[in-house]
Structure 1
Amino acid sequence: YISYGGQFENLSHAKQRLSVAIPVALALIMLLLFFTFNSVKYALMIFTAVPLSAIGGIAALAIRGMPFSISAGVGFIALFGVAVLNGIVLISYYNTLKKEGGRDLHDLVEYGAMLRLRPVMMTALVASLGFLPMAISTSAGAEVQKPLATVVIGGLITSTLLTMIVLPILYIIFNSEWRILGLRIRFNAFLPLLALFFLGQGKAEAQTRLTLEEAVQLALQNNPEIRNASLRTEAVLAKKRAVFDPGLTEIRYQKGQINSALQDQYLEVNQQLGSLPEHIARISYVKHLASLSRSEEALTEARVTVEVKSLWFEWMDALLRMRMMQDYMQTAGRLQQVASIRYSTGEITLLEKTAIESEYMRLQSEYKEWKENSRQAANRIRQVLFLTDSLVPADTLLEMISPPESFSLAGDSSGRSVLMWYENSLKAKSAEVAIERARYFPSFFAGYFRQDIDQVHGFEGWQAGISFPLWFLPQSAKVKEMKINREIARNEYEYQKFAVRNTVENLTGELNKLAARIAYYRNGALQQADIMVRTAGLQYEKQEIGYLEYLQLLHTAMTIRLGYLDALKNYNQTAAQLEYYTR
């Protein structure tokens, strides 16, 4: 046989070593990614940068007309290690935003990609520019340097571009729930091929996105209290069939020596007919009871609607405060890092460094507090809506809602839902008094009898009668009790009319006060806060103000913005309460 030595032999041995070194390098990269994220899913997602970078490396060699060599193979090993850095930068920030909460999955990916575009580009450019002199080298050793640098630069270009497109899509796919063949599946990193295969049949089931109007409609459909109020109305309506209740039918049969020494037979049928005034009073009572139940149902719907709106405004306020504090906290964090460096060089005092650290710690504490407030508000909304799925707002805008139509406080407000219940309750109590009074009237009954005497048949006849109470004291006591209950209901109704008028008057005044405060923020204070932030940033960059002055100005601007959010939330909640009392 023929064997070749020299450079060819060295190339063959080097290729054998590369066939071992490259898989080992890839395995080590995968292992380190797993240790970094403690997740196979995220490790495999970032590892997709390896084939994406290999595309660019091979294309770059083809464009420059270079063959695959040992130098190019070493370049691929270096490329794979650098290419995954982009994925680490992106996925790490996605996970940080996910832990902070308050964002929909799609918004989180979009927001994170925008903020991490510059760091990803800088990571790729630093490595690419570092290899650029080697790629264009023409001096001694260029035949070794050029393939290595060409592979790294070409691979980083394609890896960076494709990573910013493919990786966000994969993050959404692997963190969403999908419905496939009727089954709900959350895809892990092991199932990407299965997800792509069934993509035409499956439908992504992300978190439930809701607007305020949709939340109110879901509450009216799902809330158990509203369902029970509706069922109570149906139960009252079912009583209409039992309004006319004449009483039991009595049948008696006798056989024996009744009227003679022989066997006699006697059959008697009696039917109670009751009292006509009592039947009429019962019809009126059931009618008022149905009205009372309907007003209770309307009142429950109104109360649940107000509760959903109030919780929704509280939720939006917490989310907006979280975002505002997050931005301010990032600025304070950068200032803290710079202050630590300058303190170590003796440029600032310990007091300045401590003040900045204290402000940063305060912001972290407040951010965690509002994050928990947001979670609790979302859970309370889910409870009212009777939903198990997690909720995400369709938007986090907090705008002024339209106040309800005003009505004359001195006019008749008996048509309001709040007062309708008390009015119908008074009518029902009055109907109860009428029922007890009707029992003073006599009750009627009718009957039929037939008998056989001494084996002679055909003795029959009809009978009718009347019964009335001779002893009036027990019934008088019942009537008096019902009258007292009616008087209590009347007093409650009159007091509620007075209380509702005062409550509406107070809420209207509070609404006007909050509207004036919102106008103050919109007409000047918010613009001043924006100017304050921009001017403070420019003066800080020019070193015209120090850390403490910069933080103080930012804190003042944030206080103004938070005051605006507080006024807006209180206005909307007050308007919702006013709607409850005036609908």
Structure 2
Amino acid sequence: MKQLIISAVICAICGISAAQVPVSLKAAVDTALKNNLLVKNEQLKAQYQQLLINTATALPKTNILADAGQINSIYTDTKFGITQNFSLPKVYSSQKELLQQEWKSSLLNVAVKKALLKKQVEQLFYTMVYVEQKKQLLQYLDSLYTSFYKKAALRLEKGESNLLEKVSAETQLGQIHIQQQQLQQDVAVLQLQFQLLLNTTTLFVPEPQPVKMELAATADTTKLKEHATMQLIQQQEQIALASIAVEKSKLLPDLLAGYSNTSIKGTGADNKIYGSGKRFNAIQIGIGIPLFAKAQKEKINSAKFSRQIAAHNYTAGMQNIQSEYEAAVAQYNKYKQTVQYFETAALKNASLITSTANLQLANGSINYLEWVQLINQSVVVKSDYTEAIKNLNESIIQLNYFNNQ
């Protein structure tokens, strides 16, 4: 089933190859940042957290009371009242600060998702560039060994060579065709992954450009603190501090304000007789004191531990990202030296081997099997160079990710 799906995708891509749209790396990254559903989801979460800030001053429900009966005397009286509980302004400001810090955390989480998405798009983009280079190398080999096979078949027909020469050429050509088929499947899978990251139905392909990336910035460990991941981890400590402030504010007294309206039938304290039409007003003010605060104090201590955990997470995160950064620098230097070796020596030697082998074959100094061995040696060098470029690009992408580039 998987093979059928991949084959169908290959046919679909080949069938509408004319609809493929070349895209630059910057345009691909911009499209992904605009369309990617995971990023959009994080942005929605940030908007949700921002809206929650307005809930910091939410008040408890207002109590509306109504009494009827023998409230003041044998006569039936009625009483209506309304009460409202409040917290001190410090409580609301602490709650607002906590919600603001949580909103900042959600914004930083968006930045983390964007940085990771940018890295993924770059990796996939240059993987597609790498596959195109492999495709061109296989096409060169296919042309080379197809010519070799025709000549070997003709030489065998004329009796100028034995069967081994033809079989060798046929085997080499068969292996090349298998690699081309596998590469075509790889292209189909990469195309699907690229469309998924960009969240588009357009068949974008990398536009022609240098296959080797350039490092956007020199190594600078001071920038690691500015990385979105580290800022997000550090923000957890700010949230913990705000949580401590909220829990402490809950030890402050609560306030209560109320108003009541009642009737008093019969003779009042002033020796006057009042009926049900006469209403009397009263204002109520109260204060709620946290006499039993042990549990709340434990919550404060718990929040303090959360701050310590956040601080330790930041320290561990810095150690981890510094280690990864140093490893990425080491990888970059290693692959840079490898690429330089290929460009200064190995590729020139490979070209010399190819030209010399062709010349000696034409002069009759070597036979076809010897020629095949020399050509394979030259091709291996070119293939290894393509792999070295791929590894160098990946190390540069990783360094750019750490440098916020």
- Kindly tell me: are residues 242 and 99 of structure 1, through their superposed partners in 2, closer, same or farther at Cα, counting changes over 3 Å? closer
TM-score using structure 1 length: 0.62
2:155 equivalent in structure 1: 342
User: What do the CA deviations read for 1:214-265 (whole angstroms, capped 9, x no partner)?
Assistant: 1111101100011111111111111121111232111112223321233312
Following the alignment from structure 2 to structure 1, what is the Cα–Cα distance between the partners of residues 223 and 11?
54
Deviation at 1:576, TM superposition (A): 1.3
| Corresponding letter in the other structure for 1:298 | A
- Kindly tell me: are residues 379 and 397 of structure 1, through their superposed partners in 2, closer, same or farther at Cα, counting changes over 3 Å? farther
Following the alignment from structure 1 to structure 2, what is the Cα–Cα distance between the partners of residues 278 and 309?
47
Following the alignment from structure 1 to structure 2, what is the Cα–Cα distance between the partners of residues 298 and 557?
46
- Matching of residues 228-247 of structure 1 within 5 Å: 228-247=41-60
| Corresponding letter in the other structure for 1:554 | I
**2:260 pairs with 1:449:** yes
Determine helix, strand or coil for the equivalent of 2:243.
helix
**2:200 pairs with 1:387:** yes
1:221 equivalent in structure 2: 34
| Corresponding letter in the other structure for 2:53 | K
**2:328 pairs with 1:525:** no
Q: Is the 8 A contact 2:125 2:206 kept in 1?
A: no
Q: Is the 8 A contact 2:112 2:228 kept in 1?
A: yes
- Matching of residues 567-582 of structure 1 within 5 Å: 567-582=388-403
2:236 equivalent in structure 1: 425
Q: Is the 8 A contact 1:437 1:479 kept in 2?
A: yes
Larger relative contact order (C-alpha < 8 A, sep ≥ 6)?
Answer: 2
Deviation at 1:371, TM superposition (A): 2.1
Greater Cα radius of gyration, structure 1 or 2: 1
**2:257 pairs with 1:436:** no
Deviation at 1:337, TM superposition (A): 2.5
2:320 equivalent in structure 1: 499
- Kindly tell me: are residues 405 and 287 of structure 1, through their superposed partners in 2, closer, same or farther at Cα, counting changes over 3 Å? farther
Determine helix, strand or coil for the equivalent of 2:32.
helix
Q: Is the 8 A contact 1:275 1:439 kept in 2?
A: no
Following the alignment from structure 1 to structure 2, what is the Cα–Cα distance between the partners of residues 445 and 100?
71
Deviation at 1:552, TM superposition (A): 1.9
Deviation at 1:104, TM superposition (A): 9.3
Q: Is the 8 A contact 2:213 2:396 kept in 1?
A: no
Following the alignment from structure 1 to structure 2, what is the Cα–Cα distance between the partners of residues 100 and 536?
41
2:333 to 507, 512, 537: 512
- Matching of residues 480-495 of structure 1 within 5 Å: 480-495=301-316
Following the alignment from structure 1 to structure 2, what is the Cα–Cα distance between the partners of residues 214 and 235?
29
Deviation at 1:102, TM superposition (A): 8.5
User: What do the CA deviations read for 1:34-65 (whole angstroms, capped 9, x no partner)?
Assistant: xxxxxxxxxxxxxxxxxxxxxxxxxxxxxxxx
| Corresponding letter in the other structure for 2:235 | N
Following the alignment from structure 2 to structure 1, what is the Cα–Cα distance between the partners of residues 294 and 158?
100
- Kindly tell me: are residues 551 and 520 of structure 1, through their superposed partners in 2, closer, same or farther at Cα, counting changes over 3 Å? same
RMSD: 2.4
- Matching of residues 370-409 of structure 1 within 5 Å: 370-395=183-208, 397-407=210-220, 409=221
- Matching of residues 178-257 of structure 1 within 5 Å: 206-257=19-70
- Matching of residues 86-235 of structure 1 within 5 Å: 206-235=19-48
2:4 equivalent in structure 1: none
| Corresponding letter in the other structure for 1:353 | K
**2:275 pairs with 1:462:** no
Following the alignment from structure 1 to structure 2, what is the Cα–Cα distance between the partners of residues 560 and 400?
20
1:541 equivalent in structure 2: 362
Deviation at 1:318, TM superposition (A): 0.6
Which piece of structure 1 moves more, 281-290 or 367-376?
367-376
Q: Is the 8 A contact 2:138 2:180 kept in 1?
A: yes
Unaligned stretches of 5+ residues in structure 1? 1-97, 106-175, 177-205
Deviation at 1:549, TM superposition (A): 2.0
1:317 to 126, 130, 137: 130
User: What do the CA deviations read for 1:116-151 (whole angstroms, capped 9, x no partner)?
Assistant: xxxxxxxxxxxxxxxxxxxxxxxxxxxxxxxxxxxx
2:3 equivalent in structure 1: none
Q: How many residues in Structure 1 have an aligned counterpart in Structure 2?
A: 385
1:29 equivalent in structure 2: none
Which piece of structure 1 moves more, 569-578 or 467-476?
467-476
Q: Is the 8 A contact 2:224 2:402 kept in 1?
A: no
Determine helix, strand or coil for the equivalent of 2:226.
coil
Identity %: 22
Following the alignment from structure 2 to structure 1, what is the Cα–Cα distance between the partners of residues 25 and 371?
38
TM-score using structure 2 length: 0.88
2:269 equivalent in structure 1: none
Deviation at 1:100, TM superposition (A): 12
- Kindly tell me: are residues 214 and 413 of structure 1, through their superposed partners in 2, closer, same or farther at Cα, counting changes over 3 Å? closer
Deviation at 1:566, TM superposition (A): 1.3
Which piece of structure 1 moves more, 523-532 or 211-220?
523-532
| Corresponding letter in the other structure for 1:321 | K
- Kindly tell me: are residues 403 and 287 of structure 1, through their superposed partners in 2, closer, same or farther at Cα, counting changes over 3 Å? same
Deviation at 1:480, TM superposition (A): 3.6
